Amino acid sequence: MELENANDENSFDPTPKLKSSPIPIKFVSFNEKDDKCIYCGVKYTETIIGRATQKTKYCKKCLSRYITDITDNDIYLD
């Protein structure tokens, strides 16, 4: 069995050069008991995707603000 050189310029790297987003993600609730956004106070919207016992909640207002504030086309890890 022959080892490949990982530094070979022809080798394929499946993981792009990701970095952390400079804008925090505030639109997702990590507490299933929360009914309102802890940042702006707007009632959370539930997704239709998820288990019947646990739906994912998000704040439309904070999601809209996040999308507006992202002004570049970089790929972020988070």
pLDDT band for 8, please (50, 70, 90 cuts).
Answer: low
Q: Is 45 helix (H, G, I), strand (E, B) or coil?
A: strand
Average pLDDT value for residue range 14-24: 71
* pTM for this prediction: 0.61
Q: Are 42 and 57 in contact (CB under 8 A)?
A: no
Give the model confidence (pLDDT) of 45-58 as tens digits.
988 776 666 678 89
Percent of the chain's residues with pLDDT above 90: 23
State the residue for tokens 């288990």.
51
Query: Burial, 44: exposed, middle or buried (Cβ in 10 Å; 0-12, 13-18, 19+)?
Result: buried
pLDDT band for 20, please (50, 70, 90 cuts).
Answer: confident
- Distance from C-alpha of 68 to C-alpha of 51, rounded to nearest angstrom: 30
